[in-house]
Amino acid sequence: MTPRTAIQIAAGVRAGTLKAADVLEEHLARIDARESDVHAFNLVMTDQARAAAAAIDAAVAAGNDPGPLAGVPVALKDNMCTHGIPTTCSSKMLQGWKPPYDATAVIRLAAAGAVAVGKTNLDEFAMGSSTENSAFGPTRNPHDLSRVPGGSSGGSAAAVAAGFASVSLGSDTGGSIRQPAALCGVVGVKPTYGYVSRYGLVAFASSLDQIGPFTHTVEDSALLLDVIGGHDILDSTSIPARQPSLRDAIKQDVTGLRVGRITDLPEGADPDVAERLEAAFDALRAAGATIVDVQVPAFSYGLTAYYLIAPAEASSNLARYDGVRYGLRVNAADTNAMYGATRVAGFGEEVQRRIMLGTYALSAGYYDAYYGKALKVRRLIADDFDRAYQHADVLLTPTSPTVAFPFGSKSDNPFAMYLCDVYTIPTNLAGHPAMSVPFGTGAEGLPVGVQILAGTLGEPQMFRAAAALERAMGVSK
């Protein structure tokens, strides 16, 4: 049975033909049936969700409009602050910590009538591509429990794919929304940097992090971004200009839209993934778009630059976890010993690896040789994208080089794992929007995602192309 979309749920609840409480119980029943196998959540907020759903139904009965997401069950990645509710980042370092405030995105969802059903699992502090790095155990792909859901937002992607929540939020630093969206067969969007407030998002790499939605349909993603996007005075990097409605944008077809094929794209995509990408180009051409060849020469340097810039920012951001102010504390003979013991006990292997890499890149004698050069490459990547967008409105690439892979197949080789993000990372470095749209299946019938990229604030064109691909798959009209 095809699940109701968020738009359908909200319309029914606002009209009184659906009860928010009934919608919630349907989703809680699915959680009860499969969560022990999938492990999408670190925490299921049953009591809070039931209270929120009851309040929405009471508002409707009183003749009030709860908002455009009335009664829509939403899952929140467990690195977004929730007032009085544990926010762990899937790390022992923050286990049991209850923030004294809500993230702006969480506030905006609640104001729009959404019902938060739980906090989802992730790679610790959002560092990973498989959700195998969680301190609380891995999340499994609902399509095949022997395979990963992607990462780092694997719990959020799996929650939507399994029907545990109608929609969810994740964060994307180098592909952490788009890659799990591709592997789980859902829509995942990383908006332009600054499009959505980062206030209350626990920082990994502050110049790269961005919050975005997972949904079953492109229109639901447009609705979510219309709700959570917009300026926030609490985030100094938030874009002050008001953005156009993305739900309006997808009403336009793609006639005349210029879709770029990157001719110097790094090789590495499996044949089944490459085949679906070609099918996507064909579908957009058939829908009236024009396919043009472009070059982005610095694209292939994205992975190298990212794994200097992101760890450097992480080593700075994660220095706050010192056993003094909040979170885990391991007592020791003196302060320095306490710092070391706390961090060894609190941080997992991948987080420790990235902190050490970042600290090295920032250290005296190596800053200019590594971090400084990485920043110059970042500028080159952005410039190359800008030149490409002079000839194309959007670009198409694979989202992930492969379909979902088996547990343990890459965890012993960090470099193999990092290559999972080869097609997603350059967009984060440029600050541009990108999204993954399900476009058929590949090896062993597993989902394949096609990635659509656009220039700064190019979300309207990006969503037009996404909606056209979705129509080509017969998902929407």
Predicted local confidence at residue 475, as pLDDT: 60
**Does residue 317 belong to any structural domain of this protein?**
yes
pLDDT in tens, 147-170: 999 999 999 999 999 999 999 999
Helix 218-228 to helix 104-111 angle (10° resolution) is 110
Whether 240 and 344 map to the same domain: the answer is no
Answer whether residue 477 shows pLDDT above 80.
Answer: no
Domain of 119 in residue numbering reads as 6-248
As annotated, the active-site residues are: 77, 152, 176
Helix axes 46-61, 6-15, angle to 10 degrees: 50
Residue 446 lies in a domain: no
- For residue 316, give Cα distances in angstroms to 91, 118, 352: 17, 29, 13
In whole angstroms, how large is the CA radius of gyration of the chain?
A: 21
Same domain, 238 and 343: no
Confidence of residue 265 (pLDDT cuts 50, 70, 90): very high
44 and 144 fall within a common domain: yes
Residue 178 in domain = yes
- Give CA–CA dist 36/42, Å, rounded: 11
318 shares a domain with 241: no
Residue 262: the pLDDT is: 98
Q: Please check whether residue 185 lies inside any domain of the structure.
A: yes
Establish if 437 belongs to a structural domain.
no
User: Of 474 and 58, which is predicted with more confidence?
Assistant: 58
Residues 79 and 222 in one domain: yes
pLDDT tens digits, one per residue of 414-444 = 889 999 999 999 999 999 999 999 999 999 9
Claim to verify: residue 131 and residue 197 sit in the same structural domain: yes
Is residue 124 domain-shared with residue 21, that is, in the same domain? yes
What's the structural domain count of the chain? Answer: 2
Is there a single domain that holds both residue 179 and residue 317? no
98-157 pLDDT, tens per residue?
999 999 999 999 999 999 999 999 999 999 999 999 999 999 999 999 999 999 999 999
92 and 227 share a domain? yes
Record the tokens describing residue 368, joined without a space.
């200019």
One domain for residues 223 and 323:
no
**What is the average pLDDT across 290-301?**
97
Last residue of a domain, one of 339, 373, 407: 373
Q: Do residue 242 and residue 313 come from a single domain? A: no
**380 in any annotated domain:** no
Closest CA to 125 of 116, 138, 135, 117: 135
Domain boundary among 185, 215, 248: 248
Answer yes or no: is 60 within a domain: yes
In a domain, 418, yes or no: no
The last residue of one of the domains, among 248, 263, 286, is 248
CATH number assigned to the domain comprising residue 56: 3.90.1300.10
Long-range contacts formed by 385-389: CB under 8 A, 24+ apart: 385/296, 385/426, 385/430, 385/432, 385/453, 385/455, 386/455, 388/260, 388/262, 388/294, 388/295, 388/296, 389/260, 389/454, 389/455, 389/458
Model confidence band, residue 411 (pLDDT cutoffs 50, 70, 90): confident
Task: For residue 376, give every residue at least 6 positions away whose Cβ sits within 8 Å of its Cβ, in sequence order, or none.
Answer: none
- Same domain, residue pair 358 and 241: no
